[in-house]
Amino acid sequence: MTVWPEERVLTAEEASFNTVDMTINIGPQHPATHGVFRMVLTVDGEVVVDCEPYIGYLHRGLEKLTENNDYRQAMGYWDRTDYLAGMCCEGAYCMAVEKLAGISVPERAEYIRVMMMELSRINSHFMFLGAFGADVGSFGTSFVYAWRERERIYDLIEEVSGDRMFPTYFRVGGVTMDLPENFERRCHEVLGSIRQGIEDLDGLLTGNEIFVERCRNLSPLTTERAIALGVTGPILRATGLPWDVRKAEPYSVYDRLDFDIPTGRQGDIFDRYFVRLSEMYQSARIIEQCLQELPKGLVLNPGLPKTLRIDKSECYVRNEGTKGEYGVHAIARGGVKPYRMKLRSPSFCNLSALREMVVGNYLADAIIILGSLDIVLGEVDK
């Protein structure tokens, strides 16, 4: 990547003045890493010459744990991958097991799942907006704005499932329990305040000159490079490619719902930010449609066996996680436990673009580039 168009010829005096690149260790405990991620930056003054990410501080052996528990027990581990949007991960896991076993899900349960997944997506994107504002340097104001709305979403999720962050609400073949009675009213309330919250954040950040100055044209990623690096989700969409699993390969009831896929133009940091911001409105739209169309009926497949045994089968299932394509490669070889559950976590794959984007930019930009990737360490380290 040539960053500066013409190479400057150094004078003899400048050439004789030897400078040494400095290594800076960002993380694992650093406010900008959003968890226990570590990147070792080699900097020449303020400019990053090399970047080496280190991961694994939060490794909990998710895949192995899944292999050692039966299909239903393992559920609880999966919402701890993307812990900002646990329901999306549960959704992918349930879809994988259902596909392996050939279990159908009642329609009402599908709608509830979609609503929960979209609420989680909004939740996760709020987290991104708040934390990204703080990365760029707005002293936590965006953080608190985002937190206010997240609190409301968590309250709603708690009312539905009984837990806030790790609900384990989905079941193989449906969801644990039906929605509470006043759910529709509460959901409309929360959606109203979410819309207000998005507008607040939009007003705080999008129009801010310094914010735009910092984010525009910074580390743009072309669609080709993004695909080559395995980048998915909002970062890929910011490059202009409207690739969203919800549209491209509709699962659950997404094909019956009307929503748009926001895309960016040049794939820079600002576009990534703006794509996420616009997606939140679309998620709110989806939830409203679900509330309208919500059918009556059961929420859990009544024909499920007491113990789930799956014969030899294999499948790859993906859904649109909050960070990108959340894929589960499941292999069953009989018995109550899966033989293999491989997680293709979007954060981990998106992280592969980090080095290419960071090198050549300023140290201060390295921080916001990392922030724009919106990684969740639970998902990176599994």
Q: Which residues bind other proteins (CB under 8 A)?
A: 1-5, 7-8, 22-24, 30-32, 44, 46-47, 49-50, 133-141, 144-145, 148, 204-205, 208-214, 216-220, 266, 268, 355-356, 359-365, 367
Beta bridge partners of 174: 171, 300
Q: Closer to other proteins by CB, 134 or 153: give it.
A: 134
Q: Closer to other proteins by CB, 66 or 138: give it.
A: 138
Contact 356, 229 (CB under 8 A): yes
Alpha-carbon 174 to chain mean position: 23
Which residue type sits at 95?
M
The pairs formed by 334-339 with CB atoms below 8 angstroms and a separation of 24 or more are 334/309, 334/310, 335/309, 335/310, 336/70, 336/71, 336/307, 336/308, 336/309, 337/67, 337/68, 337/69, 337/70, 337/71, 338/66, 338/67, 338/71, 338/74, 338/97, 338/100, 338/310, 339/67
Give one word for 6, left, alpha or beta, with left for phi > 0 and alpha for psi -120 to 50: beta
Q: Closer to other proteins by CB, 43 or 304: give it.
A: 43
Q: Closer to other proteins by CB, 164 or 355: give it.
A: 355
Give the shortest CB-283-to-other proteins separation in angstroms.
24
Contact 277, 132 (CB under 8 A): no
Contact 226, 235 (CB under 8 A): yes
Q: Closer to other proteins by CB, 136 or 280: give it.
A: 136
Q: Closer to other proteins by CB, 68 or 217: give it.
A: 217
Q: Closer to other proteins by CB, 47 or 65: give it.
A: 47
Give the shortest CB-361-to-other proteins separation in angstroms.
6
Give the shortest CB-346-to-other proteins separation in angstroms.
21
Angstrom distance (rounded) from CA 315 to CA 337: 15
Angstrom distance (rounded) from CA 223 to CA 246: 19
Contact 63, 356 (CB under 8 A): no
Q: Closer to other proteins by CB, 148 or 285: give it.
A: 148
Q: Closer to other proteins by CB, 60 or 216: give it.
A: 216
Alpha-carbon distance values, 38 to 21, 28, 46, 337, 372 (Å)? 19, 4, 19, 34, 16
Q: What b-and-e string marks burial along 46-71, b requiring 16 or more CB atoms within 10 Å of the CB?
A: ebbeebebebebbeeebbebbeebeb
Residue with tokens 């939009």: 202
Name the E strands within 88-244.
Answer: 170-171, 174-175
Give the shortest CB-24-to-other proteins separation in angstroms.
5
Give the shortest CB-271-to-other proteins separation in angstroms.
10
